[in-house]
Structure formats: C-alpha cells, structure tokens
Amino acid sequence: MTLPFPIAETPDAAEAELGRILFAGQTDFLKGVVAMSGLPPADRTEVCFAGRSNVGKSTLINALTGRKGLARASNTPGRTQEINFFTLADSHYLVDLPGYGYANAPLPVIEKWQRLLKQFLSGRQTLRRAFVLIDARHGIKSVDQEILALLDGAAVTFQCVLTKADKVKARDLDKVLDQVRAALAKHPAAFPEIVLTSSEKGDGIATLRNIIATL
C-alpha cells in the first residue's frame, strides 16, 4: 500500500530537463509589494512560497534559481517584509512571502504583513500553487494550520515542502512525516505529495523545479 502524501520522487533525466531549462531562464527581482493594489499584472503562471518566519523561503528561491543573493535571506526571522516578485523566464513569477508566526516586531507592523499575506493567498487569481514550507525538524504547527485552512477556503492548491532536511536525523524525520501526513489529510486543498528539500545540500531542488515546470 502506498502511504498517503508520499515524498515526491526525483524526476528522471528527461523530466528533470524541463525544470532545468525553465530555471536556466533569466531570473530577476521585479518588485516588492506592500498592498494588493501594487501587485503586478496577473498575466503568467505564479507560484508562491509561504511558511513560518525563518523556515527557509528566501533561501529556497535562491537554491531553485541558483542565485545566492536573489532573495534576501537571513538568520534573523522577519527578514522578508514585503511580497517579493521574481520573474522566471518570460512565463512565471516566483513569489517570496513574508513569514508568519513571528512575534518579534511591533504589533501594527506584524498585523499589516499578515493581513496582506492572507489577502494575497486567498485573492490572487493566477496563483497556481502555494508551496507551504515546513521545517523538517518541527512539523506542522498551529500557525501553519491557520494558513492551510485559509488556502482550503480559497481553493488554492498547496503543496507541503519540508525544509532543512540536512538538519534532521532519519529517525526523527519519520515521526515528523507521520505528523505532517496526518495534518495534511484534513485539508482538501493539499496536493497529495510532499517535497523534501535541503537548500544547503541541494536535495529536492531538481524535484521542485520539475514540479513548477510541469504545472
């Protein structure tokens, strides 16, 4: 019997080529958006990266594009404070979102990001898939559940991406996977595959490129 929510398989050479070609295209920072009125035209395939502060969203975008300094990453949670749009080839937007669940900024500031984040996740027509990043050491927390429920309500397909796989032992990973699978089973908008990644080691990067290229 196959487990529900299997880990996405590494693409074979021919499939990986699709992802490689897309991500060999020109990537650029387009703009940082602080209000829904500032969103760029909804004229191409868009995927976004959501997750708790510090989970590795910006770092993952850098790993996917092979450009270390493209999205600003940092060890300080709350680094990304706007919705950052990156163009990928002429066909895609990659969207780096501010983290949620971060309690160390002035409350009005946090509320402003969180409101914008929620508006974006539930109101962006061309959003093809939301990748929801979950730290492979910690699993799904209650703040994540809130976002997953919002995506269910907006009927935005989301896919769980486990990050920092290099920091977790195989035995601990199995426990986290059980927890993640049980949580995902309750969400109708969950795509039935999990991606296991390490931006540090490169694990899962070709897989994720391929997923985006074949949307």
> In the complex, which residues of this chain contact ligand GTP (CB under 6 A)?
51, 53-59, 73-75, 77-80, 98-99, 163-164, 166-167, 198-200
Indicate whether 80 belongs to the interface with Mg ion (CB under 5 A). yes
Give the integer Cα–Cα distance in Å for 46 and 209: 13
Rounded (to 5) percent helix, strand, coil in the chain: 40, 20, 40
Pick 59 or 207: Cβ nearer ligand GTP: 59
Among ligand GTP, Mg ion, none, what binds residue 53 when CB lies within 5 to 8 Å by partner kind? ligand GTP
Pick 40 or 77: Cβ nearer ligand GTP: 77
Among Mg ion, ligand GTP, none, what binds residue 163 when CB lies within 5 to 8 Å by partner kind? ligand GTP
7: its two tokens? 């880990």
Pick 81 or 210: Cβ nearer ligand GTP: 81
Indicate whether 58 belongs to the interface with Mg ion (CB under 5 A). yes
Pick 18 or 29: Cβ nearer ligand GTP: 29
Pick 7 or 18: Cβ nearer ligand GTP: 7
Indicate whether 54 belongs to the interface with Mg ion (CB under 5 A). no
Stretch that binds Mg ion, among 74-82, 116-124, 133-141, 155-163 (CB under 5 A): 74-82
Give the integer Cα–Cα distance in Å for 78 and 29: 19
Facing residues of 195 across strands? 161
Any residues with CB less than 8 A from the CB of 109 and at least 6 apart, and which? 81
Cα dihedral 117, 46, 37, 122, rounded to 10, equals: -40
Cβ-based neighbour number of residue 16 at 10 Å: 16
Helix, coil or strand: residue 97: coil
Among Mg ion, ligand GTP, none, what binds residue 209 when CB lies within 5 to 8 Å by partner kind? none
Question: Cβ of residue 126: shortest distance to ligand GTP, in angstroms?
Answer: 22
77 in Cβ contact with 51 (< 8 Å): no
What residue ranges bind Mg ion (CB under 5 A)?
57-58, 79-80
